[in-house]
Structure formats: structure tokens, C-alpha cells
């Protein structure tokens, strides 16, 4: 089968289109003929050797796919531990994509559900509360806007780097969009932060009493830092790091149970990660370049089959 292989650790240049043996159809696993593969920031981190759950090279990147179950022919979408940038991949579990757009479905499992977990289970968003989302026009960010709206947020504040991205965030449902250097309009009840660095540090001041700061990524390259917990304790502000991959690996059954409500949001259309760009599988390196250089909005996909 054709697959993109990370031949060694490094940037997009380490990705090569190769002919490789297909994965075996093992009992209890779902063999998927891939239609679209989601491209995630974690894929960039994994080729750089900065993603703890990635295998050592050579490996096939790709953590979420849509396609068809080879055994039954039914349309599905799934999370995979790696191997999504390929014509065939084996998953422990796949959700039915019956009635769903099979392109968009490649962004549901990781991107969509991470946004859902961040707000529903980790941030415990309550109706009427104010949400702040960083990199709000990005993959997880644009899904977080949709989830915030679906869960009844009172106000959604988007942070994004360019006027175009801010306009996009407002189209997706944010009430207001600001740049990273602008004052952050508080008080914020739940922050979903995928960026880290300065924006997180500044947001500490804008949090409402008993606010929750959900840290799910550090795309800026600088992890979130807290100056000390004394002030946060008095204000009741929580800093909550979360990795869906780690949670799923440790509690697979609980993951399936607790993600059911997120899957419902997907089926109802309330959570529909917008597809920004689709590139052919052979252009995976270009896809990584675009994602790493902030040149994308919404979900970036590879067209495989
Ligand atoms: N914890 C989890 O379980 C989990 C699951 C999925 C994803 N994530 C994390 O969520 C984040 C978003 O992932 P994604 O795949 O949806 O990517 P994305 O948000 O579509 O793309 C990354 C965005 O980060 C922003 N950014 C800020 N500083 C940047 C820099 N120095 N270089 C590049 N981008 C920068 C850019 O938006 P602006 O230009 O608007 O700043 C960029 O578009 C990543 O950090 C990823 O690791 C975590």
C-alpha cells in the first residue's frame, strides 16, 4: 500500500511517500481503507521526536482517519495510535460515519473530541459562562468554538493572530475576536489554551473566580507556566492540563463512554470541524509545512482514497 513514512526525526523533509506492507487484519481490530487522514499538530511533534506517544522512526504518522471498514464496507471514523497517513490502517475501535460527510469525519475523532473533552469534562463548562479559546481559527480552536456554543456558553472570546483568522472565528460562532497582544476581555470562566507562552500568562489575570484554564497544547513552543499557586488558590482558579491520548490509553472503556455525548454533538451537526484545506497524500510534507507555519485555518486533511 502507499503510505507516508517518517524516515527519521526532523521536520517535514523527513516525510516520504513509500510502498509498504499493509497492516494485518487482526481479530478484534477494525481494518480501515482510508478516505481522508487528519493532519494534527501532534503529527509535527511526533516527527520531531517531541510527542511521547509516537513510535520511533521509521513510522507512519497520522492519528485520525475516515474511511471504510474493509470487513463490512460501512463508513467509519477512528482514532489510531499512528499509521493514519496510509491507504490502510488498523484501529482498536471505529465509530460509524453513516449519514456523515466522510471528508469532515476525518477531523471528528481527535480534533472534535479533544475540543469536547476540554470544555465538557475538563473545563466543566456551565450554560451562560464565558469561554476564551486561543488559536481559535485552528483545528481544535474552531471545534472549541462550536462546542462552547453547543454547550450553552454565554460568551465566546476568540484569540487568533491575523484579522482573517479573527473574522473566521466570528463566522464560526465567537462573539468577539482579539489578537494576542490585545487586552483579553474578561472575566473568563473557561479558557481552552492550545498555544501556551505569553497569552496563557496574561490570561491568568483575566480569569473569573473559580475559572478553569484547560491546557491542551503549546503550539507556540512554550509550555504554560504558573507563577505560583497562592494567588490562584485564593481566587479558586484551576489550571488543568489534559491529553486525550493519555486519557484514552489509560482508561479506554471510560473514554468510549464519556465521549458518547461528544459523538452525539457530531451526529447532530452541532460539532462539525470545518475543513480548511485538503491536500493529496503525496503532499504530506507540504501539509506539515503549512500547519507549522500558521498558514491554515480549520481542519487540514490528506486525501488518501
Ligand atoms: N491535549 C490533547 O489531547 C490534544 C489533542 C489535539 C490537539 N492538541 C493540541 O492542540 C493544539 C492545536 O492543534 P491543531 O492540530 O488543531 O493545530 P492548529 O490549532 O490548527 O494549528 C496551530 C495553531 O497554533 C497557533 N500558533 C501559535 N503560535 C504558533 C507557532 N509559534 N507556530 C505555529 N502555530 C502557532 C496558530 O494559530 P494563530 O496563528 O491564530 O496563533 C496555528 O494555526 C496543538 O498544540 C496540539 O498539540 C492537544
Q: Which atom of ligand 1 is nearest to the CA of 136?
A: 40
Q: How far is the CA of 274 from the centre of ligand 1 (A)?
A: 15
The pLDDT tens digits of the residues spanning 195-205 come to 999 999 999 99
Do 14 and 74 have their domain in common? Answer: yes
The pLDDT tens digits of the residues spanning 255-277 come to 999 999 999 999 999 999 999 99
Q: DSSP 3-state assignment of 255?
A: helix
| Residue 25: pLDDT band with limits 50, 70, 90 | confident
Do 87 and 192 have their domain in common? Answer: no
CA atoms within 13 A on the CB side of 171: 10
Do 118 and 86 have their domain in common? Answer: no
Q: Considering only CA atoms, which residue is closest to atom 30 of ligand 1?
A: 220
Q: Which atom of ligand 1 is nearest to the CA of 159?
A: 40
What CATH number is given to the structural domain containing 293? Answer: 3.90.180.10
Do 130 and 175 have their domain in common? Answer: yes
What is the domain range of residue 290? Answer: 2-101+272-303
Number of domains the chain contains: 2
Q: DSSP 3-state assignment of 199?
A: helix
Q: Is residue 106 part of a domain?
A: no
The pLDDT tens digits of the residues spanning 92-145 come to 999 999 999 999 999 999 999 999 999 999 999 999 999 999 999 999 999 999
What does the pLDDT average to over 165-188?
97
* Gap between the Cα atoms of 278 and 6, Å rounded: 20
Question: For a pLDDT cut of 90, what percent of the chain falls above it?
Answer: 96
Q: What is the pLDDT of residue 211?
A: 98
Question: Residue 53 above 90 pLDDT?
Answer: no
Do 76 and 119 have their domain in common? Answer: no
pTM (global) more than 0.95: yes
Do 184 and 237 have their domain in common? Answer: yes
Q: Which of 292, 294, 300, 301 to mutate to test the pocket of ligand 1 (most atoms within 8 A of CB)?
A: 294
Do 213 and 165 have their domain in common? Answer: yes
Q: Which atom of ligand 1 is nearest to the CA of 45?
A: 47
Q: Which atom of ligand 1 is nearest to the CA of 140?
A: 16
Q: How far is the CA of 221 from the centre of ligand 1 (A)?
A: 10
Strand pairing category for 30-39 and 64-69: antiparallel
* Gap between the Cα atoms of 212 and 189, Å rounded: 6
Residues with CB under 6 A from ligand 1: 40-42, 110-111, 114, 135, 137-141, 160-161, 165, 194-195, 216-221, 242-245, 291-292, 294, 296
Q: How far is the CA of 220 from the centre of ligand 1 (A)?
A: 8
CB 269 within 8 A of CB 245: no
Q: Which atom of ligand 1 is nearest to the CA of 117?
A: 3
Do 154 and 215 have their domain in common? Answer: yes
What does the pLDDT average to over 34-62?
96
Mean pLDDT of the chain: 97
Q: What is the pLDDT of residue 175?
A: 98
Q: What is the pLDDT of residue 247?
A: 95
| Residue 222: pLDDT band with limits 50, 70, 90 | very high
DSSP string, 231-244: HHHHHT-EEEE--H
Do 141 and 60 have their domain in common? Answer: no
Enumerate the H helices of 136-251 as residue ranges. Answer: 139-150, 163-171, 198-206, 229-235, 244-250
Q: Is residue 257 part of a domain?
A: no
CA atoms within 13 A on the CB side of 103: 13
| Residue 228: pLDDT band with limits 50, 70, 90 | confident
Do 139 and 32 have their domain in common? Answer: no
Does 58 sit behind a cis peptide bond, omega within 30 degrees of 0 on the bond before it?
yes
Q: Is residue 252 part of a domain?
A: no
Q: What is the pLDDT of residue 137?
A: 98
Q: How far is the CA of 217 from the centre of ligand 1 (A)?
A: 7
Q: Considering only CA atoms, which residue is closest to atom 19 of ligand 1?
A: 138
Task: Report the 3 state secondary structure along 52-101.
Answer: CCCCCCCECCCCEEEEEECCCCCEEEEECCCCCCECEEEECCCEECCCCC
What CATH number is given to the structural domain containing 171? Answer: 3.40.50.720
Q: Which of 140, 174, 198, 215 to mutate to test the pocket of ligand 1 (most atoms within 8 A of CB)?
A: 140
C-alpha cell at 127: 450554560
Q: What is the pLDDT of residue 52?
A: 86
* Gap between the Cα atoms of 246 and 117, Å rounded: 13
Q: DSSP 3-state assignment of 14?
A: helix
Q: Is residue 136 part of a domain?
A: yes
CA atoms within 13 A on the CB side of 211: 24
* Gap between the Cα atoms of 214 and 56, Å rounded: 29
Amino acid at each position: 500500500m502507499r503510505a507516508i513514512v517518517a524516515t527519521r526525526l526532523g521536520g517535514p523533509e523527513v516525510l516520504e511517500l513509500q510502498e509498504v506492507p499493509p497492516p494485518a487484519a487482526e481479530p478484534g481490530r477494525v481494518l480501515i481503507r482510508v478516505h481522508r487522514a487528519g493532519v494534527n499538530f501532534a503529527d509535527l511533534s511526533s516527527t520531531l521526536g517531541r510527542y511521547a506517544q509516537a513510535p520511533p522512526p521509521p513510522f507512519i504518522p497520522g492519528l485520525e482517519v475516515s474511511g471504510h471498514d474493509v470487513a463490512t464496507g460501512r463508513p467509519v471514523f477512528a482514532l489510531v495510535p499512528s499509521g493514519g497517513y496510509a491507504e490502510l490502517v488498523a484501529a482498536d475501535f471505529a465509530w460509524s460515519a453513516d449519514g456523515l460527510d466522510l471528508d469532515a469525519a476525518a477531523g471528528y475523532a481527535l480534533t472534535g473530541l479533544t475540543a469536547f473533552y476540554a470544555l465538557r469534562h475538563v473545563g466543566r463548562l456551565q450554560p451562560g459562562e464565558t469561554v476564551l479559546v486561543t488559536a481559535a481559527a485552528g483545528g481544535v480552536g474552531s471545534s472549541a468554538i462550536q462546542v462552547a456554543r453547543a454547550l450553552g456558553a454565554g460568551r465566546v472570546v476568540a484569540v487568533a493572530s491575523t484579522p482573517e483568522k479573527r473574522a473566521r472565528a466570528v463566522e464560526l460562532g465567537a462573539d468577539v475576536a482579539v489578537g494576542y497582544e490585545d487586552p483579553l476581555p474578561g472575566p473568563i470562566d473557561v479558557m481552552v489554551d492550545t498555544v501556551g507562552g505569553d497569552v496563557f500568562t496574561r490570561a491568568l489575570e483575566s480569569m473569573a473566580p473559580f475559572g478553569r484554564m484547560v491546557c491542551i497544547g503549546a503550539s507556540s513552543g512554550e509550555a504554560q507556566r504558573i507563577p505560583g499557586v497562592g494567588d490562584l488558590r485564593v481566587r479558586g482558579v484551576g489550571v488543568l492540563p489534559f491529553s486525550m491520548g493519555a486519557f484514552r490509553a489509560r482508561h479506554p472503556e471510560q473514554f468510549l463512554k464519556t465521549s458518547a455525548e461528544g459523538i452525539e454533538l457530531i451526529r447532530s451537526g452541532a460539532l462539525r470541524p470545518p475543513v480548511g484545506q485538503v491536500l493529496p497524500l503525496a503532499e504530506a510534507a507540504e501539509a506539515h509545512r503549512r500547519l507549522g507555519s500558521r498558514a491554515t485555518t480549520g481542519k487540514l486533511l490528506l486525501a488518501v482514497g
